[in-house]
Structure 1
Amino acid sequence: MSINLLHRHVLEDHISGFETDPNPNHLLVIRRPMIFTVLAHEGQGTAVAEALWNAPDVAPRFCGPSEWLAVSRTVGAETVAGMLSDIAGASVVDQSDGQVLMEISGPSVRKILGRCVAVDLHPEVFEEGRSATMLCCHVAANVARTGADTFEIVVPRSFAGSVFEELTDMGREHALTRGFAD
């Protein structure tokens, strides 16, 4: 008996058959991001934060005092785990299989997200590089501003379909398209 272990993304059924060329407002699902939780040991928060911000190929996302997500779209789990395990005073857990990473971008991104989060996303308040854990579409998520009109959203895998559908609904009037990253 042969078992097919081909990776199937949790949002495959939400997107397949609906993919189109991206409009200026677009919701992109990243297929295999590396997402690690990093917790600083007592008294090590500043040192761990500095090490995370200096780690190559890793984007740190603030979650709370002494807690971050380390997100990578470019290197594999072993590479990220190796880099993070070298950070003194930190505990690291791979969350990649339990989290989904989406990127929403475009000129109407703040209007779309503004209907889903209760946070001021004005560029002067929520600056590029800033991230926070918040409710997004009624689900605990980490939202990060990664560009002028670009945000990344990390949500638990079990709630990804719900968040994806709600973001799609909120973006309908702005011609939001969706698809998988290549």
Structure 2
Amino acid sequence: AGEMIAAAKAHFGVAAPETPKAIGTSDASLIWSGPDQFLVLSKDGKHSIEVLAPGFAGSASLSDQSHARALISISGDKARAMLAKLSSIDLHPDVFGVGAAAATSMDHTSVTLWRGGDRNGLAVFNLLVFATFAESLWHTVLDSAAEYGVTIGHSEDL
């Protein structure tokens, strides 16, 4: 684990998260996904598996998940209330602040959840879900948010 953390620091300029948290750089996010493991979300494919492999050789096993997962990002003044319907995680900002992460489930679907930086003064919650379950979870999210109103948008942030 120590070698993997050092390899992440050498490549990304930050150490790999050792506890449930997400660490952002200018072109990637490193998200804790379990003991001694983390996910890398790369902007513009800069950190492809081919680029990462030499630096992590001998210290980590790499697996390309580019097409295996879908990202759902949720924000708004009722985002926390809506997510509380789907998760047992305490999402209050005193407990689940910016950068906090969790491997959890929502509506019987495994997700990696982390709190991104606030946008326009509102909390941003990111859900990374296996692509095969994304549509089902998406509809569950929409159903849970219906009483608050929903605006669907697209971002190139990640």
Q: What's the TM-score once normalised by structure 1's chain length?
A: 0.68
Instruction: Tell me the distance in 2 between the aligned counterparts of 1:173 and 1:111.
Output: 11
Would the alpha carbon gap of residues 53 and 134 (structure 1) be closer, same or farther in structure 2, given more than 3 Å must change?
farther
The answer for unaligned runs of 5 or more in structure 1 is: 1-39
Q: Who wins on radius of gyration, i.e. which is larger?
A: 1
Is 1:110–2:80 an aligned residue pair?
yes
Q: Superposition RMSD on alpha carbons, in Å?
A: 2.2
Percent identity over the alignment is 32
The one of 87, 91, 103 aligned to 2:56: 87
Structure 1 residues 66 and 48: alpha-carbon distance in aligned structure 2, compared to 1, 3 A threshold:
farther
Q: Secondary structure at the match of 1:84?
A: helix
Measured after TM superposition, the shift of residue 48 of structure 1 is 4.9
* Cα distance in 2 for residues equivalent to 1:82 and 1:107: 40
Match 1:172 to one of 124, 146, 150: 146
Name stretches of at least 5 consecutive residues in structure 2 with no aligned partner. 15-24
Match in the other structure for 2:44: 75
- Matching residue of 2:33: 63
Q: How many residue pairs are counted as aligned between the two chains?
A: 139
On the 8 A contact 1:168/1:176 being kept in 2, the answer is yes
Find the counterpart in structure 1 of residue 127 from structure 2.
Answer: 153
Cα distance in structure 2, aligned partners of 1:167 and 1:75: 27
SS of the residue corresponding to residue 143 of structure 2 reads helix
